Structures are given as C-alpha cells and as structure tokens.
C-alpha cells in the first residue's frame, strides 16, 4: 500500500470537516443542538434500536463465535466517518451532518469499551478510549474549527475553497477504497454465507430505522438513513484486533465496509435524482 488506510481516512475526514466549517454558520449548529427531537431520534436509532436488532440477529441466525461477536460490535458502535462521503451531499443540512458526526463519534467513545465487556474476550492492556477521544479531536473538532476560522478571515474565498476541498476529499476517498480492495476481497472469501446475510440484514435495518426516524424533511431522512446504516467499522476493526486476537472477528467490519459503501452510494444517487425531479416538477407547476 502506498499510504496506510488509516491515514487516508484521517485526511478524508479532515478535508470534509474543513469544508463544512467553511460553509456552516455557528448559529446553524446551535439551531441543530436545540432540536432535541431530531437529536434524540438520532441517538435512539443508532444507540438503541440498531444494537437491539443486532442482538436479535445473533439469536435468530446460527453463527459461529467470531460472527456473533462481529455482528454485536458492528451493531453497538455508531458514528463512522466514512458516512461523510455521502451525507455531505445534503447541502441544506450540513450543520446536521457535522453535529451528527460529532455526537455519534462521542457515543462510540463511550459505547466501544462497554460493548467489549459484554462479550467474552482475552484480556488486553490496550484501552481505546484515549485514542478515540484524540481521533475525535483531530478528525472532527479541529478541522471544523479551522474551516470556521478561515470562513471568518476570508469570507469571499470560502465557497471556492470549500468546493475544491470537496473534490480533493472525493479523490482521497476513492483512493482509500482502492487501497483496501484486497483485504475486503479476502474478508468476503473468509466469511460464511449466513454471516454475510446477517450483515446485509443489519445494513437494511439500519437504513430503514434511520429513514423512519429522520423526520418529515427528506434530506434529514437521507442523512439519518446513511449515518445509521454505516456502522463504525474503524473502531470495530481496532477493537477486534486488540481484544479478539487469533480470531476472524476483524474480517466482519472489513466485509461490512465493502457492503455499506456501494449500498449507500446507490441510495444517495437515487435520492439525489428524485430530489432533482421533484424540484423540476415544482418549477413547472409555477
């Protein structure tokens, strides 16, 4: 690999958050934080309903120990930064996108260590909480603040800079997918069919729950559907490698990455087409 995938992911998220900071006003963030109903439904979907569905899956589908642990961890840990590739296209809901990314990442910091304790595992001196908090600051908080600062210092240049950062972020994301293609292929070959079926069910359930709880606004629903279905494969992977050595648990988040990206790409494209069609119809009606 030319560049380690973790570095590519960090660069991608940083670029997206700077771009969002360039466009969104501070008042927009406060308005989202005041919308307790939407934020409450986001936490309900990601931290209660999807984990409950994952637990139910492990009871209904006969899986080996590695498969059960992988599904439970995926279902439990929300807040993947990979979702930003698709949620950031909701131009009218960027404040919600950034706020949701932060809140779900914070939830992952709390949930991941707890989730590990609920399944049998080998003891390890490694504790991810400090690393997760540092990653949250580096990936989300600092770049978002930098974007807001640049927008205040050079407001005229902010729109063009944000557009170029979006293009660069897309290039980095595509490179990330290319660099991880081999390990994703290996993961699919190593997992049994029932486990892959369970991951598909988890993906569909997450998307359905997110859409259902996203509220009346279609863009908010799309952001929620994507954010809820795309589980935190990064945190799940590192937890699996440290707490479940000599098992195939770490293959589960890798394979899920290979599912959730194309599924949400198709979903986002279809939604954008429907949005354009609806806008065109309203314009003709006038």
- Torsion 39-43-44-46 (CA) sign: positive
Q: Which of the residue ranges 40-44, 80-84, 183-187, 214-218 has the most confident prediction, judged by mean pLDDT?
A: 40-44
Distance CA 147, CA 28 (A): 14
Topology (CATH level 3) of domain 5-281: Na+/H+ antiporter like fold (1.20.1530)
Q: What is the pLDDT of residue 58?
A: 93
CA 230 from chain centre, in angstroms, equals 5
- pTM for this predicted structure: 0.83
Distance CA 33, CA 26 (A): 11
- Give the mean pLDDT of 40-64: 94
Average pLDDT taken over every residue of the chain? 84
Distance CA 235, CA 113 (A): 10
Distance CA 223, CA 285 (A): 28
Q: CA-based Rg of the chain, rounded to a whole angstrom?
A: 19
pLDDT confidence tier of residue 60, bands split at 50, 70 and 90:
very high
Q: What is the pLDDT of residue 216?
A: 79
Contacts of 50 by beta carbon, 8 Å cutoff, 6+ apart:
75, 78, 202, 205, 206, 209, 228, 231
Q: What is the pLDDT of residue 206?
A: 96
- Read off the DSSP letter of residue 244: S
Distance CA 28, CA 8 (A): 29
């Amino acid at each position: 690999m030319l560049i380690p995938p973790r570095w590519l992911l960090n660069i991608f998220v940083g670029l997206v958050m700077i771009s969002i900071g360039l466009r969104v006003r501070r008042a927009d963030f406060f308005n989202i934080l005041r919308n307790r109903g939407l934020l409450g439904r986001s936490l309900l979907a990601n931290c209660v309903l999807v984990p409950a569905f994952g637990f139910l899956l492990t009871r209904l589908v006969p899986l080996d120990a590695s498969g059960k642990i992988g599904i439970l961890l995926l279902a439990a840990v929300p807040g993947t930064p990979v979702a930003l590739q698709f949620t950031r296209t909701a131009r009218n809901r960027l404040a919600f996108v950034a706020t949701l990314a932060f809140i779900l990442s914070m939830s992952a910091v709390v949930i991941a260590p707890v989730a590990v304790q609920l399944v049998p595992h080998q003891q390890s001196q490694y504790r991810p909480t400090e690393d997760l908090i540092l990653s949250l600051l580096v990936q989300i908080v600092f770049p978002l603040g930098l974007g807001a600062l640049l927008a205040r210092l050079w407001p005229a240049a902010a729109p063009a800079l944000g557009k170029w950062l979006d293009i660069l972020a897309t290039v980095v994301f595509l490179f990330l997918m290319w660099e991880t293609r081999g390990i994703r292929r290996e993961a699919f070959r190593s997992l049994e069919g029932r486990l892959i079926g369970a991951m598909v069910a988890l993906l569909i359930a997450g998307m359905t729950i997110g859409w259902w709880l996203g509220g009346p606004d279609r863009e908010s629903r799309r952001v929620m559907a994507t954010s809820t279905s795309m589980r935190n494969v990064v945190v799940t992977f590192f937890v699996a490698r440290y707490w479940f050595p000599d098992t195939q648990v770490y293959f589960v988040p890798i394979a899920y990455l290979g599912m959730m990206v194309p599924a949400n790409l198709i979903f986002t494209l279809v939604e954008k087409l429907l949005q354009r069609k609806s806008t065109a119809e309203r314009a003709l009606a006038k």
